[in-house]
């Protein structure tokens, strides 16, 4: 994507020199606090029971999903 106007870059257009990839800018602790917590809160709203064991299992599932999604995005070639 072109950083100036957010339009996708053409196949022949190369990224600007020195421009950092968004995937390298997200620290693990920030991903945990921001993304995982938002996903966890959204999923928690849809649970019928909210026992401690269910919430712990849900958090583990959300963390694993986010990690797989992040790794897949990190391995993409732009």
Q: Kindly report, residue by residue over 31-48, the tens digit of the pLDDT.
A: 777 888 999 999 988 887
Q: Are 56 and 50 in contact (CB under 8 A)?
A: no
The pLDDT of residue 6 is above 70: no
- Domain boundaries along the sequence of the chain: 27-74
Cα diameter, the chain? 54
In tens, the pLDDT along 61-71 reads 999 998 898 88
> What pLDDT, on the 0 to 100 scale, is given for residue 4?
43
């Amino acid at each position: 994507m072109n950083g100036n106007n957010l339009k996708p870059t053409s196949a022949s257009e190369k990224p600007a020199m020195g421009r950092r990839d968004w995937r390298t800018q997200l620290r693990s602790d920030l991903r945990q606090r921001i993304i995982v917590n938002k996903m966890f809160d959204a999923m928690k709203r849809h649970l019928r029971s909210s026992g401690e064991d269910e919430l712990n299992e849900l958090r583990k599932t959300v963390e694993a999903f986010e990690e797989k999604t992040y790794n897949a995005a990190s391995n993409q070639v732009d």
